[in-house]
Structure 1
Amino acid sequence: MSLSAWLWLGMLVLLALAVPAWGRRRGRRRGGPGPGRRLLATLLFLLALVLGLAGALMHSWHWLHEDVPVAQLSLRQLGTQWYIGQLQVGDGPVREYELRGDEWQLDARVLRWNLPGQLAGLRPVYRLERLSGRYGDPKQDLAGQRSVHDLREGWETWQIRQRMLAALPFADARWGSGAYLPMLDGARYDVFLSPRGGLVAKPADARTEALLREAGW
């Protein structure tokens, strides 16, 4: 169980102790709780509030340092510098794209929040723009066969929503971000959005890690 869960559990225990302390005393004397019990109940309530707030902050802080899954990409080689990429964005369907070159690249546009917005539970807003193939040699990139695929679905709606969100006082910055890694036959990659709002690509399994080592990455 996470630290935030333990803090919230402690809050519930303190509340369970504080509520009876405010109840009426049983016995021969009339009236409500005495000054001592009232003071104890107040302290328990305050401590429960502190634990609850600390749990909320720890929960937010935990995912502030956690990458958000964005997409998965699997590669199958058809020929020299020629691949089929199977891309799954979130829980959406798997789609195939023809890619040419030595490396794949995924680009996105990102809207990031400042710290108060992040602590309030707002995660970066992003929209994937394109998946493309690129050559390791920039000169070949100028003359080689290009492969660029538009991933912008509902782009006009995104543009309007992005402008509205960017006007909020806790919006931090807007920028483009991209991640790329080698295209290798049988490789599988996971793509994440980092807490700072940048795309990060990682090998999805041990086989891909071994392929990257063999390729000198």
Structure 2
Amino acid sequence: MDWSALLRMPMTVLLVPAAVFALVTLAQLVMLRRHLYAHRRAAASWRALLCVAAFALTLLLAGTGAALRGYRLLGEEAPVVEIDARILSPQRWALNLTWPDGSTREVELAGDAWRVEAIVLKWKLPALLAGVPPLYRLDRLSGRYDDPAQEATAPRTVIGFGKAGAFDLLSLKKQYPRWVPEIDTVYGSGAFLPLVDGGHYTVNLMRTGALVARPDAATAEKISHPLGG
């Protein structure tokens, strides 16, 4: 696992201080108990206030981190996923996906090409001036047929990558817009490339929010000359 990539994820950035404040809460509880046993009411009241404040910060940070599960910070050009393709039968493929943190997943896809889509969140002026970068989350991977008529009738495959279910920043924005007023825009971005046996592809997301899909040199050669001609 790439720990540097993991530590740059907004969920991790928030859960680490949440854990620290949880420890602070426990420490304040211990001190509060000691003051209560010693009948020091003023000191106990002060410790109780600190305990409530630390616990509130713990809940806020942990809840926000959970809502950002699956999202990543968007830099100048962020790697999204690497894809390796292997043919199983005509228009049937096995794809191995590798994320920047080193995690992998294998899926099967139908079609002549793959298409990947991401969700991008941008912030309003206060957060923007504070330097908070946009966030993105890989949303889905689907198969795509070259023939539009076949696209309308042939079996389709769509693999979703949502992790947080209903408790997700995007879902919260739709259901309770007043809870997350700092989100300026929510939009999707997609890219696709033809599938070839043994193909290796990289998908990056630009700071503008555009997905860019690139084959390596050998894959590009196979795409240009699918029959070896």
Same fold (TM over 0.5): yes
Please give the alpha-carbon distance, in whole angstroms, between the structure 1 residues aligned to 2:140 and 2:83. 13
Task: Choose from 90, 98, 105 the match for 1:95.
Answer: 105
Tell whether the 8 Å contact from 1:192 to 1:199 is kept in structure 2 after alignment: yes
Residue 202 of structure 2 corresponds to which residue in structure 1?
190
Q: CA deviation at 1:95?
A: 0.7
Residue equivalent to 2:193: 181
Q: 1:115 to 1:160 in 2, by over 3 A?
A: closer
| Residues 152-184 of structure 1: CA deviation (Å, up to 9, x unaligned) | 11132323686279622xx44211111111111
The 5 A counterparts of 1:29-44 are: none
Q: Which residue of 2 aligns with 1:109?
A: 119
Alignment of 1:61-210 (within 5 A): 66-113=76-123, 120-159=130-169, 163=173, 167-168=181-182, 171-203=183-215, 205-210=216-221
Output the CA distance in 1 between the equivalents of 2:204 and 2:172.
Answer: 20
Q: Structure 1: where are the runs of 5+ without partners?
A: 1-63
CA-CA distance at 1:114 after TM superposition = 6.4
Q: Please, which of 198, 213, 216 is the counterpart of residue 224 of structure 2?
A: 213
Q: Is the 8 A contact 1:110 1:175 kept in 2?
A: yes
Question: Hey, what's the Cα distance between the residues in 2 that align with 1:124 and 1:77?
Answer: 36
Letter in 2 for 1:191: V
CA contact under 8 A between 1:108 and 1:128: conserved in structure 2?
yes
Unaligned runs of 5+ in 2: 1-73
SS in 1 for 2:167: helix
Partner Cα distance (1:114, 1:197) in 2: 16
Q: CA RMSD in A?
A: 2.7
Tell me the number of residue pairs that the alignment of Structure 1 and Structure 2 aligns: 150
Letter in 1 for 2:191: A
SS of the aligned residue for 1:139 comes to: helix
Relative to structure 1, the CA distance from residue 98 to residue 160 in structure 2 (aligned partners, 3 Å threshold; closer, same or farther) is: closer
Q: C-alpha deviations, 1:117-147, integer Å up to 9, x for none?
A: 5674433211222111110111101111211
Q: 1:103 to 1:207 in 2, by over 3 A?
A: same
